[in-house]
Amino acid sequence: MQSAMKDFSAIEQKMESAGLSRAAIEAFRHSVETVESGVSGLVPESDILPAEGVEDWESLRAGVPAAPREVLSRTVVIKLNGGLGTSMGLQKAKSLLPIQNGLTFLDLIVRQVRSLRRNARCSVRLLLMNSFSTSRDTLDYLSRYADEGFADAGEVEIMQNRAPKLLVPGLEPASCPGRGDLEWCPPGHGDLYPSLLGSGWLDRLLSEGILYAFVSNSDNLGAQLDLKLLNWFAQSGAPFAMEVTRRTEADRKGGHLAARRSDGRLILREVAQCPEEALGEFQNIEKYKYFNTNNLWLRLDALKEYLDSHGGVMPLPVMRNVKSLDPRDPSTPKVYQLEVAMGAAVECFQGARAVCVPRTRFFPVKTTSDLLLLRSDAVQISEDGSVALAPECGGRAPLVSLDARYKFVDSLDRLGVPSLKRVRSLTVRGEHTFQPGEALEGDVVAAP
């Protein structure tokens, strides 16, 4: 193989021609050089220990007051809003999905920030990290809130970068004449860091006196800015904090939090980073108890200092996904889509913390099963945009599993939305129709 610098020149030229920032280019250079170096990225069992010292939020709440106005006024809410939800048959921003009473994820995000501003009588900035696929739809939708300052791209938007797909083997930029869009892929939500830096937003926020950032996915309605959690983070002095929650049997195959044996720093280990012989321990939810909710707290001055001292690059582990250049045509060349995860930055910061939060702060919508739950009476949405489980649920969300025929969002219309607040689990097999609000209870299997 030719030298890394020579190999990267074609990639660099392609990214420069697309108008990507120097920060985005250098971050991708790190990813490519990581792959070229032959580093496997595997984290063997001998290198880690179970994470210790994870704070329990329920215990913390009793002794932590809500953040005062001066702390809240120095805080920005950042929502990752780059996903289209194609796995559910969508061709628009997932955050535009209607949930209840015509309200979308975006409506609830706006309501939450509006409520913070009103109650604290101070400005709380909202930033949406949009992608090229979601920017126009998102800003068009937000025009209904233009008089409140939520629709100006210059005030609410960070643009996510994009990364070239690379040929396997060779790591050369892939070409698809006539379909240039197929030559690019999302870089993963770890792109938050070069996007903040390269866009100028990091310097701008710091110049405005904003010190704290709460970051979460726009499709996670449980991720609301908690004033006590904000105050805890501010008082802790930590540069970085991650909200984790307890793994259950359903989370055995998902990534987990651990501590690096060599220096005690917290790290994330995803299943792709686990050697095959360690999969049994990886799935041991009593040993590795916590997973990342992707709700993160950042000290922006610490982030700036770290990036300045590391050439503007956050050296995150690289995930190498092998795909077809055209996802709809398996005969097209195989390509690498290199991605990085923003939570992996926990290992970069000395003094990073983790806090175990209730599962109610983790309400992601990845499937139509998740969406049906949110549309049901098991989830209550307040006027201020806050989301909570109905009291009848006893603090535990019903487990919903839908037949594959309901994979796409439009199929939910013919299924109907029953009452789920007294349900432990709902399994739908085959064609079925519920009456609106149909009362269900316990463990329910619905079949023809």
Helix (H) or strand (E) holding 105: helix 105-120
Contact 416, 433 (CB under 8 A): yes
State how far the Cα of 93 lies from the Cα of 192, in Å rounded to an integer: 18
CA max distance for the chain: 66
State how far the Cα of 370 lies from the Cα of 391, in Å rounded to an integer: 19
What tokens appear for 227 in the block? 């004033």
In three-state secondary structure terms, 369 is helix
Helix (H) or strand (E) holding 428: strand 423-428
State how far the Cα of 223 lies from the Cα of 136, in Å rounded to an integer: 24
Residue 229: closest CA among 383, 390, 380, 361: 361
pLDDT in tens, the chain (448 residues): 334 444 689 999 999 999 999 999 999 999 999 988 877 778 999 999 999 989 999 888 888 999 999 999 999 999 999 988 777 887 788 999 999 999 999 999 999 999 999 988 888 999 999 998 899 999 999 999 999 989 999 999 999 999 999 999 888 999 988 888 899 998 989 999 999 999 999 999 999 999 999 999 999 988 999 999 999 999 999 999 999 999 988 888 888 999 999 999 999 998 888 999 999 999 999 999 999 999 999 999 999 999 999 999 999 999 888 999 998 889 999 999 999 999 999 999 999 999 999 988 988 888 999 999 999 999 999 999 888 899 999 888 899 999 999 999 988 888 999 999 999 999 999 999 999 999 999 999 998 7
Dihedrals phi, psi of 408, to nearest 5 degrees: -100, 150
Residue 166: closest CA among 152, 153, 151, 185: 185
